[in-house]
Structure 1
């Protein structure tokens, strides 16, 4: 039997990752190109080069897509907003079929990461879970009965919009306080440096190397994140909350979050359902793996 090959895309604001994968998600070829900032036409020109090159070696059986935005999986239209305005509105399923004569399926990137964990990661044994992706903002996905719950307006799992407090009489969101971007911005303000001179790793490294000014900043960040996870537990009641994003690779992340959850559980005696935390296992390829899983499910 001839092995099937699928082109899998992960469309992000800065880069489009792509891979050729078999039905078991083995990576046979991998690359990326900068996300065009100008127009959909320029996006197609960049993708044309990839498809043309790969078709010299592989017979492609479909295109699976992970993308930012609120994705309507049935229509193939990406709603919402992102760093690539031109992707919102067109019917990608129809356009890809017309251009490449290939079937396409697309899904939101956080939902793809959740599907990867269901298929091959931390949620293989889970029926109900939430994925919380911590990056420049906070996104996520809700899974019930091993199916992504998109919500009525396709915004299920957009945890970053939760209001986490107020500042100067204005609401402050969970993303504003508990993303890695927030950690960097608060650390930069504390150190009186340009936020562009820091990233999340640099903040943690500086604290570990003895910069005492950053210890309370990081501690407050852990606590704010733990409070948000506590709220998610009591709103959705998942078996597991899986954490993604680069910060989830820190080996001490769960220890610190569980320490703050201990405090919260002690301070609220009536709350006896403890959030069970895990970290993503699929790593940097989670969106690609989940996009393929979504394609295979839809085409089954």
Structure 2
């Protein structure tokens, strides 16, 4: 039987997305399961393997239909060995042999890559990258992740930690603490949590007023979406926060582009759903800080695949490996 499907897996700290995807990148079936972090994460790969088997049975298929499993996982990965170098939210010890564990549980070949790298591959293959071979993908979510693709290949770095754009230092002195242990990382500014932090700092100043202040005073909470919504309505505090985020993000992206000169920089993740109000503000700062030749050739765009980018990019890992054989 011709193997026509790939299982793409996007492993998250609370939820794992799984999909069956054709060799042309079309999703046949997608679903989610909870990520079980208990027992030092020992149930994670078993649960994924069991879920894949159950879904195949539901669809009247066997494992012979699958060419393999590609997985995106949060954290630095040694692509050659499939070892997770460091994990924060999954219960695993450092240097966890994720690829071997998944292959043993599923009895299928597997390839592992960083989740942001997989999102970048997905956007390159089927999304906003539109076939571009030199792109940078930045995921703006709870944190900030990044994937760098040069000549169609993920830039791995010496130990798999390349593309950690969220931990580029944006504020060298007096920056907010980051979960990585440093301070002033881009993640502390341009992530959803960073935007909320900036908004609360601005709203704590005496005499503030306006739509965002009213939302905050009503229940003591504010979201990144609130900031963008209020900025669209002309709220001065929201616009101030937006401009601060755009300035730091635009500067970091310009420096990346000045170094790599990619064809496209793609912004994805939940924060990117703000759309043009974010993209246009970042573009303005990007043009301010980028070298003239880079400014004319590197284009910024919003991701188009949404939550599917990770599973599609994970499937691409297997497809790419098959094409090498």
CA-CA distance at 1:88 after TM superposition: 4.5
Per-residue CA deviations over 1:221-271 (Å, capped at 9, x if unaligned) read 111111111111112222221211123231333222222334446xxxx75
Q: Which runs of 5+ in 2 are unaligned?
A: 177-182, 205-215
Write out aligned runs for 1:146-295 (5 A).
Answer: 146-168=152-174, 171-192=183-204, 197-209=221-233, 211-249=235-273, 250-264=275-289, 271-274=292-295, 275-295=298-318
Distance in 1, matches of 2:266 and 2:28, equals 27
Find the aligned partners of 2:32 and 2:175 in 1 and give their Cα distance: 43
1:59 matched to 2:62? The reply is: yes
Task: Tell me whether 281-290 or 186-195 shows the greater mean CA deviation.
Answer: 186-195
Q: 2: distance between equivalents of 1:92 and 1:222?
A: 36
Q: How has the CA–CA distance of structure 1 residues 185 and 54 changed in structure 2, closer, same or farther, with 3 Å as cutoff?
A: same
**Paired residue secondary structure (1:290):** helix
Residues 5, 59 of structure 1: 8 Å contact kept: no
- The 2-side partners of 1:224 and 1:198 are apart by 21
Counterpart of 2:170 in 1: which secondary structure?
A: strand
Superposed CA offset, 1:131-182 (max 9, x none): 1221222221111111111011211111112111244488411112222321
1:26-65 map, 5 Å: 26-39=26-39, 40-56=41-57, 57-60=60-63, 61=66, 62-65=68-71
CA contact (8 A) 2:227 2:241 kept: no
More displaced, 199-208 or 70-79?
199-208
Task: Provide closer, same or farther for how the CA distance between residues 209 and 158 of structure 1 changes in structure 2, counting only shifts above 3 A.
Answer: same
3-state SS of 2:163 partner: coil
The 3 A distance-change label for structure 1 pair 87 and 165 is same
Distance 1:260 1:159 in 2: 17
TM-score, with normalisation over the residues of structure 2? 0.82
- Contact in 2 for aligned 1:5/1:58 (Cα 8 Å): no
Q: Distance in 1 between matches of 2:175 and 2:142?
A: 24
Query: 1:61-210 maps to which residues of 2 (within 5 A)?
Result: 61=66, 62-86=68-92, 88-168=94-174, 171-192=183-204, 197-209=221-233
Provide the rounded CA distance (Å) in 1 between the counterparts of 2:175 and 2:280: 34
Quick check: which one's strand share is greater? 1
Offset at residue 204 of structure 1 (A): 1.3
66-75 or 197-206, which deviates more: 197-206
The answer for unaligned runs of 5 or more in structure 1 is none
Q: Which moves more between the two structures, 58-67 or 80-89?
A: 80-89
Q: Which residue of 2 aligns with 1:18?
A: 18
How far 1:98 moved relative to its partner? 2.5
Checking the alignment, whether the CA contact within 8 Å between 2:119 and 2:313 is kept in structure 1 is yes
CA distance in 2 between partners of 1:2 and 1:196 (Å)? 57
Q: CA deviation at 1:100?
A: 2.5
Counterpart of 1:7 in structure 2 is 7
1:205 and 1:159 map into 2 onto residues whose CA distance is 26
Q: Is the Cα contact below 8 Å between 2:138 and 2:268 reproduced in 1?
A: yes
Tell me how large the CA RMSD over aligned residues is: 2.5
Q: Is the 8 A contact 1:72 1:154 kept in 2?
A: yes
DSSP 3-state at the match of 2:81: coil
